[in-house]
Structure 1
Amino acid sequence: MLRPTTDVLADVQAFEARASDADLDDLRARLAAARLPEAETVYRAGPGPRRWDQGVPLSDLVELVDYWRTAYDWRSFEARLDRIGQFRTTIDDLGIHFLHRRSARADATALILTHGWPGSIAEFADIVDELADPGDADLPAFHVVVPSLPGFGYSDKPRTTGWGTEKIAAAWVELMGRLGYRRFVAHGGDWGGNITTVLGGRFPEHVLGIHTTFAESPPGMTTDGLAAAERRWAEETHDFWHHRAAYAKQQATRPQTIGYSLVDSPVGLLAWILDKFAEWSDTEDSPFETISRDRILDDVTLYWLTRSGASSARIYYESHNSLDPELRVDVPSAVTVYPRDIEKYPRPWAEQRFRQIVRWRSPERGGHFPSLEVTADFVQDLREGLAAVLAAQP
């Protein structure tokens, strides 16, 4: 339940998010009563990614469900969000929830961080303070804003169509303006990367520059002239969309149908999301090699308690393959391509859309969730990328 407390700025209210004890008891009861299928028929001795050939292995799920029911502490996550600062505002008749942490530094720059699916604000909760007050005057500082996408978390669920990435980007400009940030930098990956691209391309008068882990090129690019590594990236991206993207097709065409299961069954929701953390992380056997159980359960429990399984899936219905082929980003851009991410576009392709790439980096490790997988490296890269963006200002 959300309870407004005090006015912060015009049209912005501070909020606390509190799950009721009854909702938490219901979650534990559903977990205890879960009906599970038999074990997968393709058995591969671990460790190794082939154990996941048919999806989440039964043994892994049973262990995590037991931990979720008996040991996981949701109240600790609520307290972390409260310490950062939670707020809500209404834009185009839709309530938008966001975290907001102002830096103590007078030279701080406003920064908006946008998550994707199956992520949430949980992806950034552990790095907000470090970005706002790094403790070293030589490091850049930021006023950090982390909104929940429409239909995700404590943001409202759209009741009509139309809330695609273009409208979300426009809403983010309005949000930042209400907070007093007329000009700002932006970061995102996954859908957040798509929205960040729209921000940079459509609103250069407000966006100083961007950092993204998802620099989608225009369609129709050729592999002619690409280096071997770049060609491999293109092949891997093609393979992902043709052989491993059934989830996206489902959510883009029938989000309501899968939504019933995701809102009704916590085990079904957990498996649907855990499968992506496993497949998209830079690990050999399990996502828990780099991401703690608690951090993944923070994310999944947020989806569960806000009943956002269906509403979050609809971003695919609204925006799948919708990025304007003609959109160009002229503001300074920093791009980081992690080796185990699911979509990797070669720099010659990305340069056709992002016209002023001031920093391009390909780390040695990391996957689709770098803020959770390689947290320290991600923060350093984000700082350095945004520093390059700011240094490129006229």
Structure 2
Amino acid sequence: MTDHTALIPFRIDIVQADVDDLRDRLARARWPHPIPGRDDRMDFSRGIPLGYLQELTERWRDGFDWRAQEAKLNAHEQFTTVVDGQTFHVVHARSTNPDATPLLLCHGWPGSFVEYQRLLPLLADAFHVVIPSPPGFGFSTPLSGTGWELARTTDAYAEIMTRLGYERFAVHGTDMGAGLTGRLAAIHSDRIIGTHVGGDRTWLGLVGTKFPAPADLSAAEIEQLEAAHAESATERGYLAMHNHRPDTIGPALTDSPVGLLAWIAEKFKRRVEGGHRAPDVDVDQLLTIISVYWFTRSGASSVQFYYEAEHTELDFVMGIGVPSGWAVFDAHPLVRRTMDPFGTVGHWNEFAAGGHFPAMEEPELLADDIRTFVRGIA
């Protein structure tokens, strides 16, 4: 695990030829024939609509300043380090407060360290923030080999915190980052001050499959859960591909920027405030996330994480005896009823606003909730 312990300073500097190549590919996009009779901007019932995708493509090609975004990303300290043969990219936003609490942030797919841009200034006075990119994501590339799944990544994150000198730390996670958060508390409980999870109503689609459903649900609750399962089923086409055929979708995500844009932007649409409207996230921040996937060729390597998870016998776990907190966005009453049926989560807050990417959608609400949680267990 500690074969190469050096923390190598890192700065994002995409060569201009790659920036020019991206614009050229976007300019030469080959579009499908439009289907008459459909709303080509807002009808997401069959996936991302053509008109909406064309608008995003035009913005990415002509209205997006990568160099300006790159400079913003380089405002924070970054380094790479090799753990268990794999290169990890890590953002380290130190607080000016010497007594600040170390806080590890764990994101999922199609997220990125970029999604925490608006959150970091709100945490700067109270936390030393550490954001690793999972294996195969962003600048944690290329993959060193197969087998990088939840357990191995969890241990690597713990090792990264050791190399930074943080023996004890708090953890926040969303999406698959919630799995990393829970596993850190279960396996490295002596080091975890507390775990904070950002969730939303899409978690209901996992109840009964990834998570057990309570046995005492009422008929009305079962009906609501079944409706959530039906809605979830319409959103899981990408998941089957990631879980079982990542090598098939990978070349398209590497060779076609429009293909990558469609694959990721559709997920932001469907996961922001329950998919009720177009992404209420900063468009340039969204395009920066997608640009990082593009420039690092991590569209293909990041989806390997799903395959590894699907073919590894690991359950979702939470640390016993470690304080835990949840912030649920786009809240639904069944989330706590099913995810915390015995009321064991000590800190639980629900918000009508937001969705699957709270650090981008509602950074103030999320920052306040993390701060309140950690302050309550200090």
Count of aligned positions: 366
In structure 2, C-alpha distance between the alignment counterparts of 1:45 and 1:256, rounded to whole Å: 30
In structure 2, C-alpha distance between the alignment counterparts of 1:60 and 1:209, rounded to whole Å: 41
Matched, 1:26 2:21: yes
Long gaps (5+) in structure 1:
1-8, 134-140
Offset from partner CA, 1:166-211 (integer Å, 9 cap, x none): 1111111000000000000000101111111111111101111100
Q: Which residue pairs with 1:173 in the alignment?
A: 158
Q: How is 1:145-184 mapped onto 2 (pairs within 5 angstroms)?
A: 145-184=130-169
Q: Which residue pairs with 2:308 in the alignment?
A: 318
Q: Which residue pairs with 2:7 in the alignment?
A: 12
TM-score (structure 1 length as normaliser): 0.86
Q: Which residue pairs with 1:363 in the alignment?
A: 351
- Secondary structure at the aligned position of 1:159 is classed as coil
Q: How is 1:1-394 mapped onto 2 (pairs within 5 angstroms)?
A: 11-40=6-35, 43-44=38-39, 51-133=43-125, 141-214=126-199, 219-222=211-214, 224-225=216-217, 234-282=225-273, 284-287=276-279, 290-320=280-310, 324-325=314-315, 327-330=317-320, 331-339=322-330, 346-351=335-340, 356-388=344-376, 390-391=377-378
Question: Aligned Cα RMSD in Å?
Answer: 2.5
Long gaps (5+) in structure 2:
none
Residue 14 of structure 2 aligns with an amino acid whose one-letter code is A
- Shift of the 232–334 alpha-carbon distance from structure 1 to 2, 3 Å rule, reads farther
Give, in angstroms, the shift of residue 356 of structure 1: 4.6
- Shift of the 357–281 alpha-carbon distance from structure 1 to 2, 3 Å rule, reads same
Q: Which residue pairs with 1:5 in the alignment?
A: none
Give, in angstroms, the shift of residue 157 of structure 1: 2.7
Higher relative CO (CA 8 A, sep ≥ 6), structure 1 or 2? 2
Residue 192 of structure 1 aligns with an amino acid whose one-letter code is G
In structure 2, C-alpha distance between the alignment counterparts of 1:116 and 1:261, rounded to whole Å: 21
Which segment drifts farther, 239-248 or 371-380?
A: 239-248
- Secondary structure at the aligned position of 2:326 is classed as strand
- Secondary structure at the aligned position of 1:362 is classed as strand
Identity of aligned residues (%): 38
Contact 2:104–2:130 (CA under 8 A) maintained in structure 1: yes
- Shift of the 372–231 alpha-carbon distance from structure 1 to 2, 3 Å rule, reads farther
Q: Which residue pairs with 1:138 in the alignment?
A: none
- Secondary structure at the aligned position of 1:39 is classed as coil
Contact 2:141–2:296 (CA under 8 A) maintained in structure 1: no
Contact 1:328–1:355 (CA under 8 A) maintained in structure 2: no
Which segment drifts farther, 66-75 or 324-333?
A: 324-333
Give, in angstroms, the shift of residue 129 of structure 1: 2.7
- Shift of the 366–246 alpha-carbon distance from structure 1 to 2, 3 Å rule, reads same
